[in-house]
């Protein structure tokens, strides 16, 4: 099974877009022991290289897993010490209700709670409206003078939630996309004979526009690209069969397209063939709303890349209760490892 203790550590580390230092330091420490070269580029991506064993033409495979998590940034401290904020990444406002957050201040982290107008004093009209992000503030339980000792405008904010096991699933904040960080690290740990040079790239700022992947793909100029990210598992009450996208426990997901990329048909065929040959359970994914690093990896090299993605089915995305199935995670590791070892045996001609 999977190393839940390692996954827990990865998920619980903070790393809002643009403020990924703590998770980046962890990745450098872990990945540095598993690869031939490791570096950090100017924007903060970690690029870990494992040399191929059958690579006379110096082919490069970029594997991208974004390390950032959705979060917030402090924009204002009012006269009573309450915090106003801006989102870093996409949020459904109603998911903020009654949540704890952590503001990463000048010298220490400060716990806060998301507050809004109590239902007891709402008008009938207010009760019938969906909440807006601007309805919320952060309460630190301090007055302004005390808040300003620790907090300033521009400080990042992350969500507070521990990882727990539920049945054969893991549940935590930031499964998107720390589950992929975990998968890439575990693949590097077991990968002994990649065919081509592997550029394991832990990217930044995906949640605000795949910014890290664009920069790193431009630098690496890969021949092949594989993105790792979560995808919707809407296998829930009320969902029609055609709405589910993916389902938990049915295997890893091979992406066909999302809103930012149409995967190369050759990569889709290769992954399907590889999964079938190695008895790895898989399902296919078409996500019509929502993009991933796949687009940056595919487009931003000088010649473009033959690109696709391995997606991890996840319930309750962009909430603090994201849920993934352990067997699907294991299948994702298996498919990535097999793909990197067997990529030279496929006919990549158009």
Rounded distance between C-alpha atoms, residue 229 and residue 295, angstroms: 12
Active-site annotation holds for 12: no
Positive or negative: CA dihedral 263, 267, 272, 278:
negative
- Helix, coil or strand: residue 133: helix
The HSE-up count of residue 63 (CA atoms within 13 Å, CB side) is 28
Contacts of residue 241, Cβ cutoff 8 Å, sequence gap at least 6: none
Percent helix, strand, coil in the chain, to 5, is 30, 30, 40
Which secondary structure element, helix H or strand E, spans residue 226, and what is its range? Answer: strand 224-232
User: Which residues does the annotation place in the binding site for Zn(2+)?
Assistant: 66, 176, 207, 229, 318
Rounded distance between C-alpha atoms, residue 334 and residue 315, angstroms: 21
Among candidate residues 20, 69, 206, 285, the one labeled active-site is 206
**127 burial via Cβ count (<10 Å: 0-12, 13-18, 19+):** exposed
Is the CB of residue 197 less than 8 Å from the CB of residue 90? no
Which secondary structure element, helix H or strand E, spans residue 129, and what is its range? Answer: none
Residues serving a catalytic function are 206
């Amino acid at each position: 099974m999977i190393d839940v203790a390692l996954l827990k550590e990865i998920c619980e580390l903070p790393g809002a877009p643009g403020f990924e230092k703590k998770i980046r330091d962890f990745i450098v420490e872990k990945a540095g022991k598993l690869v031939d070269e490791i570096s950090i580029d100017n924007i903060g991506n970690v690029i870990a290289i494992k040399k191929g064993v059958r690579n006379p033409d110096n082919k490069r495979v970029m594997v991208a897993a974004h390390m950032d998590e959705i979060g917030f940034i402090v924009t204002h401290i009012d006269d009573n010490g309450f915090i106003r904020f801006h989102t870093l990444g996409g949020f459904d406002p109603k998911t903020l209700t009654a949540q704890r957050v952590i503001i990463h201040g000048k010298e220490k982290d400060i716990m806060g709670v998301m507050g809004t107008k109590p239902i007891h004093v709402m008008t009938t009209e207010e009760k019938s409206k969906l909440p807006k992000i601007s309805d919320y503030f952060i309460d630190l339980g301090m007055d302004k003078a005390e808040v300003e000792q620790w907090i300033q405008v521009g400080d990042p904010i992350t969500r507070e939630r521990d990882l727990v096991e539920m049945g054969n699933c893991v549940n935590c904040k930031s499964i998107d996309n720390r589950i992929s960080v975990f998968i890439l690290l575990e693949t590097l740990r077991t990968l002994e004979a990649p065919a081509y040079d592997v550029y394991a790239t832990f990217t930044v700022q995906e949640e605000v526009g795949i910014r890290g992947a664009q920069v790193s793909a431009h630098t690496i100029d890969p021949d092949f690209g594989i993105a790792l990210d979560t995808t919707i598992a809407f296998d829930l009450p009320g969902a029609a069969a055609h709405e589910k996208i993916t389902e938990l426990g049915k295997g890893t997901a091979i992406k066909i397209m999302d809103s930012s990329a149409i995967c190369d048909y050759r990569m889709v065929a290769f992954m399907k063939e590889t999964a079938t040959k190695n008895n790895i359970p898989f399902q296919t994914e078409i996500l019509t709303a929502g993009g991933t690093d796949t687009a940056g990896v595919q487009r931003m090299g000088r010649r473009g890349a033959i690109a696709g993605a391995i997606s991890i089915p996840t319930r309750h995305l962009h909430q603090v209760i994201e849920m993934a199935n352990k067997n699907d995670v294991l299948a994702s590791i298996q498919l990535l490892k097999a793909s990197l070892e067997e990529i030279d045996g496929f006919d990549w001609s158009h």
